Chains A and B, each alone.
Chain A
């Protein structure tokens, strides 16, 4: 350990950090555990495995997963186009990619719902080909794809920028076709960033509430996400029930966060680079 205590203020900074962290984050979060202990094991199990709860986990996980896959494909494409190609309006688009981070979720929710409703600008064409979007699970995937859009782009972009073109030249001079180089040289380099972006988008989509409730239709068993189920239980003053489901959901999110951190740790060890900027916004 380095002797860095020449600088002043460690005690004050550390003390206030721990106090503030405890008051704002740790004590409030611990209420979830405390409240859950008011239930017996059997009661807890009955609540968290009720058909309505199970249907909501399936929907939340499924929709977040589908949206994260969409984000990997299109986020990867957008990152590639923004880094490698030059075209008019590129800088503007690059700035706009962060819109889902900056736009309040409720605004995203009502805007996308209006667009994709049966009489909306986009929804009317979707309905004509027999694919209704709003008030179906597909609508949830659409808003989650919007919410998660920046994660993959912002994790892949810096890696792509730092990628050594010499490797591609080497591959090409050894006779590889462009498609070969992309698949064998570029894609493996991008994989850790793609996986991190995927996990971040997935984690964000899992917990998302504001934008989803407008487009989902919110029918129990069909289009009711887990955060909404928690909200409904709170509104019915069923605090124990809400907490039990929240505990299951928190465990899921924290496992994901831990996974992302491990991934980043490994990626940093390999490449010696800093954290991708998108993570800051998670």
Chain B
């Protein structure tokens, strides 16, 4: 049999370079130019203005609130993700498919609606609003509301990452550990956790990026009280709407750096996850 002509197996050189050129132009226009624009606009008025914008007390308060929110939301979703993945991946029970779909639900809810449901629950006219007020709990237009909305939107990240991974790994190693006399806790710490550590880290990285960057849901419950209930993305919006563009982009550039760090960490961990899942 004669080998097929090379032209039938791949595109001609010209077509190839045209396609590469098109893809590069598209990605350049959509990904690289906006990134460059953020830093260019942030530094437009000089380093002094840049530094003033990010060391402003209101900016610092926003940075602090964003860090606090992520520091609460991410660990909670990590623990929940582990528990959910353990139950779903290692056991059989009726309604598993439904449970998996319910865990995914927050991904398909518009951010504005994600915030709205907490206003409906804890707002002044909300179902539990009078109860919260009677107990002196301020949830909406306060930090607890921001944290709750953030937990809601980042809810599925860790679980979604762990479930397929733990399912693929099966239960043999854990069973072996138990047979050898390990306690449940020892088995979890010495076998399960090391097996899923990269997948877990991957989920945490994505969860954290979203927790720090969430805008719509947090915007609904925040009330935009400067210095008190403003997260970094909300602070960017306020500065932008006040036409303080250099300051808005200065704070935005910090979030861009966070995104870039996230991408680098993500691709490093991705490689580890792939290696890990090939071993099993």
Contact = CB atoms under 8 A, between A and B. Distances in A.
A107 B108 contact: no
B259 to A, nearest CB: 4
Nearest to B267: A95
A2 interface: yes
A32 B37 contact: no
Given A104-B258, A115-B37, 6 more contacts: A7-B175, A34-B120, A103-B213, A103-B256, A209-B219, A239-B119
Contacts of A281: 206
Contact of B8 (A5, A172, A257): A172
A66 to B, nearest CB: 15
A44 interface: no
B22 interface: yes
Interface string A147-183: 0010000000000000000001101110011100100
Contact of A96 (B31, B76, B92, B213): B31
A93 B151 contact: no
A45 B81 CA distance: 39
B86 A13 contact: yes
Interface in B190-234: 206, 209, 212-216, 219-220, 232-234
A136 to B, nearest CB: 18
A221 interface: no
B14 interface: no
A209 B104 contact: no
Among A207, A249, A257: residue with most chain B CB under 10 A: A207
Contact of B171 (A4, A74, A149): A4
B268 to A, nearest CB: 10
22 contacts: A2-B92, A4-B91, A21-B103, A28-B148, A31-B126, A77-B26, A97-B27, A99-B31, A103-B256, A107-B252, A111-B34, A112-B34, A122-B29, A214-B240, A230-B110, A230-B116, A234-B116, A239-B119, A261-B101, A274-B168, A280-B206, A282-B107
Nearest to A31: B120
Contact of B255 (A103, A173, A178): A103
B35 A13 contact: no
On chain A, which size bracket covers the interface? 35 or more
Interface string A86-121: 010000010111111111111110111011000001
Contacts of B151: 24
Interface string A171-200: 111001110010000000000000000000
A8, A102, A206, A280: most-surrounded residue (chain B CB, <10 A): A102
A234 B87 CA distance: 38
Contacts of B87: 10, 13-14, 17
Given A25-B155, A107-B256, A172 B5 contact: yes
A227 B23 CA distance: 32
A110 B240 contact: yes
A78 interface: yes
B72 interface: no
B113 interface: yes
The B interface is mostly helix, strand or loop, or mixed, namely helix
B169 interface: no
B121 A27 contact: yes
Contacts of A105: 111, 213, 215-216, 233
B112 A110 contact: no
Nearest to B256: A107
A104 B27 contact: no
Interface of A: 1-2, 4-10, 12-14, 16-17, 20-21, 24-29, 31-32, 34-35, 74, 77-78, 80-82, 84-85, 87, 93, 95-108, 110-112, 114-115, 121-122, 145-146, 149, 168-169, 171-173, 176-178, 181, 203, 206-210, 214, 226-228, 230-231, 234, 237, 239, 242-243, 246, 249-250, 253-254, 256-257, 261, 274-275, 280-282
A5 B215 contact: no
Contacts of B126: 31
Interface centre among B23, B110, B206 (most CB of A within 10 A): B110
Contacts of B30: 145-146, 149
A227 B216 contact: yes
A243 B215 CA distance: 20
B102 A26 contact: yes
Contacts of B236: 104, 106-107, 110
B239 to A, nearest CB: 9
Nearest to B212: A104
Contact of A78 (B23, B37, B249): B23
A31 B127 contact: yes
A111 B32 CA distance: 11
Q: Among B5, B23, B123, B264, which residue has the most Cβ atoms of chain A within 10 A?
A: B23
B56 interface: no
Contact of B263 (A98, A112, A178, A214): A98
Nearest to B19: A81
